[in-house]
Amino acid sequence: MSDFLPTAAASTRPLPSKLSAFLVFFASGAVLVLETVSLRLVGPYIGVTLQVTSAVIGLSLLAIAYGAWLGGWMADRRDPRHLIAPALILAAIATGITLPLVRYAGEILRGSATMGILLLTAVAVFIPILLLSAIPPLVVKLQLGDLRRTGQVVGKLSSIGTLGAVTATLVTGFVLVASFPSSVIVMGLAGCLGVAGLAIAVYLRRKYPYTLRAAPRTRAVLTVVALLAAGASAAAPHPCDLETAYHCASVSTDPNNPSGRSLKLNSAEHSYVDLTDATHLEYAYVKWMAVVAGFVTPQRPFDAVHLGGGGFTLPRYFMTARPGTSNVVFEIDGGLVKVGRELLGLQTGPQLQVSVGDARMLISQHPSASADLVVGDAFGYLAVPWHLTTREMAQEIKRVMRPDAIYVQNVIDYPPNRFIKAEMATVASAFPHVALIAPQAALDAKAGSNFVIVASQAPLPLSEMSHALKTFLEDPVVLLFGDKLTAFIGGARVLTDDYAPVDQLLTGP
């Protein structure tokens, strides 16, 4: 900023109140737009977990703290009129550069643990939020012409800044993310910041003739950097075929099967669909669930409820393998339904109905004793959403099941298996008859894996299930039940709506 040189002594007159309110409202709102959207920028590379969310919030608050300190420090040393427009323009450039930086750095840090999460979230939010957070102290300094009104001025501008942050959070979450890709939101915000910075510079120059003028060298450098940022953003690798309200979704063709499609959500593979053969099941855990479903009203159609849609593999399988079967799918992300219809061969109708919404909310509205099979396969990145893991949720699932119905739930866990043990204990607290399907290495806490929980109010045909799993599957798998399952669960704590630390159980020691 040293190239921005004032042409005369600073005036002591404050900015017009409407302009000062706009600057504080706009800068504070832009901070929250960045904070909200940044989670979607980094999600395709490091997932959307509690740790990632915490990193975004924590680093954003750190940038706000340092930005406010920097803005106050600069305001005491320079006329704030010399700094407001440059801060907006620099924030615009930093915001524009964020997109290519995250995409290139994300490819390097993809799947990283704690340090990678912190680095990538810092790239996404720190510099632009720091610059934007420096603006309110500059404005406050200009408005403090009468020390007798200090409290009123600071309180008013502080409330306006908070209102801007709240407004931006609601608009971004309810409108922008649902209407535009995150790249469009970020570049649109950069454009708005740049236009605002230039407009403020022109206004201040006309209103206060002594206000700074940028040196030609500075204007040239900023123009070049802005153009490079726009070019880099256009050339940066894009990880999504479609950005939905919750996911960065991409669909790829199986090189070994021209009709095979893999669905990836936020860097994690979620589903495999064969467009010409609905009975083709690729993933092991899906085959386990299909084997268990074979014991539901044998040889007859049944009524299935699915918590989570993904690629809609199992509903399509049931319709083909057991004609007449009715499937109701609760899928929180309407964008995935669109992906399913356009890219994965999904055809909805009387036998495959999709309700868009949160599974916890939708199942509470579902009729009691109406399902023969409930399939739990909802994930936020690699973790089951915590509110779908609790005893209260298990009891709600039990309510919609007929007396001899079966519940199957997919869980992913890693050594030392703390989450699967807790979730197994939770399901067992609601259902009298339970079992667990997993590879032996996963049960021995030697490898991460999918686990499939099986539960019912009626006795399970365990011997027949065990035989079927050994007969129809290529890779060996264990059906754990009885005393061995009790020993596996050990003293694991039952998860409840009041206490369900799913992410910590997955990542903790």
Number of structural domains, the chain? Answer: 2
Based on the domain organization, do 281 and 208 belong to the same domain?
no
CATH code at position 38: 1.20.1250.20
More confident call, 126 vs 382: 126
CATH code at position 306: 3.40.50.150
Q: Where are the alpha helices (DSSP H) in 401-461?
A: 418-430, 440-443
Residue 243 lies in a domain: no
Which of 186, 215, 237 is the last residue before a domain boundary?
237
Q: Which pLDDT score is estimated for 222?
A: 54
Based on the domain organization, do 119 and 259 belong to the same domain?
no
Based on the domain organization, do 174 and 269 belong to the same domain?
no
Residue 242 lies in a domain: no
Residue 445 lies in a domain: yes
Q: How many CB atoms lie within 10 A of CB 154?
A: 14
Based on the domain organization, do 107 and 255 belong to the same domain?
no
Q: How far apart are CA 120 and CA 49, in angstroms?
A: 14
Tokens 């299935």 correspond to what residue? 304
pLDDT, average across residues 286-308: 94
Residue 191 structure tokens: 């454009």
Based on the domain organization, do 57 and 177 belong to the same domain?
yes
- Quote the mean pLDDT of the chain: 88
Q: How far apart are CA 437 and CA 453, in angstroms?
A: 6
pLDDT, average across residues 335-361: 93
Which of 364, 312, 313 lies closest to 333 in space, CA to CA? 312
Based on the domain organization, do 271 and 219 belong to the same domain?
no
Q: Which pLDDT score is estimated for 1?
A: 41
| pLDDT tier, 34 (very low <50, low <70, confident <90, very high otherwise) | very high
Residue 507, classified by CB atoms within 10 Å of its CB into exposed (0-12), middle (13-18) or buried (19+), is: middle
For 455-483, the pLDDT digits (tens) are: 999 999 999 999 999 888 888 899 999 99
pTM confidence score? 0.79
Q: Is the peptide bond before 86 cis (omega within 30 degrees of 0)?
A: no
| pLDDT tier, 139 (very low <50, low <70, confident <90, very high otherwise) | very high
Based on the domain organization, do 91 and 194 belong to the same domain?
yes
| pLDDT tier, 319 (very low <50, low <70, confident <90, very high otherwise) | very high
Q: Name the DSSP letter for residue 10.
A: P
Residue 456, classified by CB atoms within 10 Å of its CB into exposed (0-12), middle (13-18) or buried (19+), is: buried
Q: Which pLDDT score is estimated for 10?
A: 42
Tokens 């061969």 correspond to what residue? 345
| 350 Cβ contact partners less than 8 Å away, ≥ 6 residues apart | 326
Based on the domain organization, do 258 and 386 belong to the same domain?
yes
- Report the SS3 class of residue 29: helix
Q: How far apart are CA 398 and CA 374, in angstroms?
A: 9
Which of 210, 237, 264 is the last residue before a domain boundary?
237
Q: Which pLDDT score is estimated for 144?
A: 82
Tokens 């340090």 correspond to what residue? 115
Residue 405 lies in a domain: yes
- Report the SS3 class of residue 493: coil
Based on the domain organization, do 36 and 79 belong to the same domain?
yes
Tokens 């997109």 correspond to what residue? 99
Residue 43 lies in a domain: yes
Which of 201, 218, 237 is the last residue before a domain boundary?
237
Based on the domain organization, do 355 and 390 belong to the same domain?
yes
Q: How far apart are CA 468 and CA 464, in angstroms?
A: 6
Which of 30, 125, 13, 130 lies closest to 72 in space, CA to CA? 130
Q: How far apart are CA 500 and CA 506, in angstroms?
A: 11
Full residue range of the structural domain in which residue 46 is found: 4-237
Q: How far apart are CA 42 and CA 112, in angstroms?
A: 11
Residue 151 lies in a domain: yes
Q: How far apart are CA 509 and CA 504, in angstroms?
A: 9
Based on the domain organization, do 230 and 280 belong to the same domain?
no
Based on the domain organization, do 252 and 146 belong to the same domain?
no
3-state helix, strand, coil in the chain (%, to 5): 55, 15, 30
Please report, for residues 259, 271, 410, 422, 435, the alpha-carbon distance to residue 453 in angstroms, rounded to integers and kept in the order given.
30, 19, 7, 12, 6
Residue 277 lies in a domain: yes
